[in-house]
């Protein structure tokens, strides 16, 4: 088994949450980073309520909602967090935050089916970066354990820690409600063993919830990866998904979104993201509307420091994507934006040290995949599809080669056949 890697961290966290929830426009993308396409349900000139369904993934009847009220225009293309330019519905905010009347009643009691329907209808997805519809995870028989992933192992990213610091009581209440509704006998909140702030935030309220325990992993990357977490906490392996073993894994910010759903019965239209890096004047965690642009949010945070060659990284430094510009929209899966100086040495030749193979948690051979990019038969044998895009191969490479990008390209080539 490959060993997780120790990575230097920036752990100076400001736990106050700044709000920037008044963007002038929001952009609702009609495609996500996983290639899922949404059908738009509104047309230019329509008045849109906050929380109104504006597009749908028809395959699974999964809706996307507007995060503001205002008037719709169509056809603008914007960049999403994987660098793709996609068509968006654009809504000009009228700053009235008008909800449809049907969205103003709160449900007192949920059956399991009500809960699954509510997760779908309110558009709850994995906020840890997966963008996976949460209702699909919870739609299983006799779940044995709920693991709440609060490991947040990427350096610089602190939005989960900030959510825990401010809302640990709400998170515990939501876990308890989910266990009751779903009949789950036990829950474990997975944390890094040295994350004392989060541990203490939970310990303050944990006494009321005897079926919820804390579980600890070492502070190393990628210990927040679902497979590592399940192995470390329960000593269980699975093939594709933990649900095969009756285990549901949800990110801690997703659990907080479920808490808000229980409390307000309203769709997920806002999230907290980390905005940080040497290029940012005022580094912090910000509550933002889904569909707002990063450029507008950063301008509202006092703007940029002067850097020679700034790069924008959507997501953390390990798994994120570097982007040439800041005109990128906030999607539910975007947990961080990092702005740093692009002073990396690049394009040195591979010295065949094998370090990328040593660290790869998926147990594949990144350097071989890179060197066989045009040999489809060989690529199929090397299984690039198992890559979880953790970025460790690029991080560890002494020649500073972006090995992960070669593996990603290979993944696409093989999946196309
Ligand atoms: S990015 Fe993919 S290939 Fe590279 S170390 Fe992570 S899992 Fe392995
Ligand atoms: S870590 Fe970099 S230099 Fe070493 S084998 Fe992999 S690609 Fe080559």
Q: What is the pLDDT of residues 365-416, one digit of tens each?
A: 999 999 999 899 999 999 999 999 899 999 888 888 989 999 999 998 887 5
Query: If you measure from the C-alpha of residue 406 to the centroid of ligand 2, how many angstroms do you get, rounded to a whole number?
Result: 12
Confidence of residue 257 (pLDDT cuts 50, 70, 90): very high
Q: 12 versus 40: which is more confidently predicted?
A: 40
Q: 26 versus 323: which is more confidently predicted?
A: 26
Contact present, 248 and 186 (Cβ < 8 Å): no
Burial class (CB in 10 A: 0-12, 13-18, 19+), 221: buried
Q: Is 354 in the pocket of ligand 2 (CB under 6 A)?
A: yes
pLDDT in tens, 316-373: 888 888 887 888 999 999 999 999 887 766 668 898 999 999 999 999 999 999 999 9
Burial class (CB in 10 A: 0-12, 13-18, 19+), 324: exposed
Q: Which of 201, 138, 127 lies closest to 170 in space, CA to CA?
A: 201
Q: Which of 365, 387, 406 to mutate to test the pocket of ligand 1 (most atoms within 8 A of CB)?
A: 387
pLDDT in tens, 123-159: 999 998 878 999 999 999 999 999 999 999 888 899 9
Residue 195 has pLDDT above 60, yes or no: yes
Contact present, 148 and 175 (Cβ < 8 Å): yes
Q: What is the pLDDT of residue 160?
A: 97
Residue 206 has pLDDT above 90, yes or no: yes
Q: What is the pLDDT of residue 77?
A: 85
Domains of the chain and any CATH numbers:
104-264 (3.40.50.11540), 355-415 (no CATH)
Contact present, 294 and 253 (Cβ < 8 Å): no
Query: If you measure from the C-alpha of residue 227 to the centroid of ligand 1, how many angstroms do you get, rounded to a whole number?
Result: 14
Torsion sign (Cα): 235, 198, 129, 9: negative
Residue 216 has pLDDT above 70, yes or no: yes
Output the pTM of the full model: 0.89
Q: How large a percentage of the chain has pLDDT more than 70? A: 94
Contact present, 274 and 333 (Cβ < 8 Å): no
Q: Is 289 in the pocket of ligand 2 (CB under 6 A)?
A: no
* Ligand lying nearest the CA atom of residue 399: 2
| Pocket-forming residues, ligand 1, beta carbon under 6 Å | 359-362, 364, 366, 387-393, 403-404, 407
Looking at residues 196-207, what average pLDDT do you find? 96
Kindly give the interhelix angle for 252-264 and 112-121, rounded to the nearest 10 degrees: 100
């Amino acid at each position: 088994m490959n060993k997780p890697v120790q990575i230097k961290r920036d752990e100076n966290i400001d736990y106050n949450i700044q709000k920037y929830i008044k963007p002038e426009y929001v952009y609702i993308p009609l495609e996500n980073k996983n290639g899922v396409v949404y059908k738009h349900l509104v047309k230019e000139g329509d008045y849109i309520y906050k929380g109104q369904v504006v597009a749908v993934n028809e395959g699974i009847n999964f809706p996307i909602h507007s995060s503001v009220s205002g008037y719709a225009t169509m056809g603008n293309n914007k960049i999403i967090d994987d660098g793709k330019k996609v068509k968006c519905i654009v809504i000009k905010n009228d700053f009235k935050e008008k909800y449809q009347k049907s969205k103003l009643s709160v449900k007192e009691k949920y059956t399991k089916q009500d809960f699954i329907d509510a997760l779908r209808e309110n558009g709850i997805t994995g906020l840890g970066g997966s963008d996976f519809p949460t209702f699909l995870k919870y739609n299983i028989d006799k779940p044995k354990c709920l693991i709440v992933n609060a490991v947040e192992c990427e350096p610089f990213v602190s939005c989960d820690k900030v959510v825990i610091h401010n809302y640990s009581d709400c998170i515990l209440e939501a876990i308890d409600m989910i266990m009751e509704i779903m009949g789950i006998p036990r829950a474990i909140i997975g944390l890094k063993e040295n994350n004392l702030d989060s541990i203490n935030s939970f310990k303050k309220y944990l006494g009321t919830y005897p079926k919820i325990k804390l579980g600890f992993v070492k502070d190393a990357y990628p210990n927040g990866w679902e497979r590592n977490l399940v192995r470390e906490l329960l000593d269980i392996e699975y093939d594709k998904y933990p649900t095969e073993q009756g285990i549901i894994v949800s990110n801690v910010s997703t659990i907080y979104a479920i808490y808000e759903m229980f409390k307000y019965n309203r769709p997920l239209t806002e999230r907290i993201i980390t905005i940080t890096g040497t290029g940012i004047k005022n580094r912090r965690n910000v509550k933002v509307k889904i569909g707002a642009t990063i450029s507008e949010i950063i301008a509202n945070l006092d703007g940029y420091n002067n850097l020679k060659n700034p790069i924008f990284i959507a997501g953390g430094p390990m798994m994120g994507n570097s982007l040439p510009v800041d005109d990128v929209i906030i999607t539910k899966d975007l947990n961080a934006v990092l702005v740093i100086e692009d002073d990396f040495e690049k394009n040195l030749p591979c010295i065949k040290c094998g370090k990328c193979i040593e660290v790869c948690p998926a147990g594949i051979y990144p350097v071989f995949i890179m060197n066989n990019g045009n040999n489809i038969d060989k690529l199929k044998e090397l299984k690039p599809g198992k890559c979880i895009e953790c970025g460790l191969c690029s991080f560890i490479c002494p020649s500073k080669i972006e090995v992960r990008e070669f593996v990603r390209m290979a993944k696409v080539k093989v999946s196309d056949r």
